[in-house]
Amino acid sequence: MAQINWTLQALDDIGAICLFIARDAPSIAEVYAQKLFDAVDRLEMFPLSGRVVPEFEIEDIREVIFGNYRIIYQIQDEVVNILTVHHAARLLKFKFSG
């Protein structure tokens, strides 16, 4: 079983998303955040279940699609590092240490 590690960048991304949602519907923002975390939990058992990020084409950089967001992660041994949560309509300009 893999360990999930959330980077500060990814947590900041979720915070910004939830603040945006909460402007109109605070209770929906909380539910959305929980569902997003639940979507990532499956990576503990199935870390290779996400697709390889097409912009990088690197086997250990993968993503899970959740609604309009791309949850981008890197697999390192038995650790899944959640790197960023990125809106799918925006150009991906993420740099990672590989």
Q: How far apart are CA 16 and CA 23, in angstroms?
A: 11
Query: What does the alpha-carbon distance between residue 54 and residue 12 come to, in Å, rounded to a whole number?
Result: 24
- Global pTM reads 0.92
Residue 91 is predicted with a pLDDT of 87
Domain residue extents for the chain: 3-87
pLDDT tens, residue by residue, 10-66 = 999 999 999 999 999 999 999 999 999 999 999 999 999 999 999 999 999 999 999
Residues 6+ apart with CB under 8 A from 91: none
User: What's the rounded Cα separation, in Å, for the pair 71 and 61?
Assistant: 11
| Tens-place pLDDT, residues 56-94 | 999 999 999 999 999 999 999 999 999 999 999 998 876
Q: How far apart are CA 73 and CA 47, in angstroms?
A: 9
pLDDT for position 94:
65
3-87 falls under which CATH superfamily?
RelE-like (3.30.2310.20)
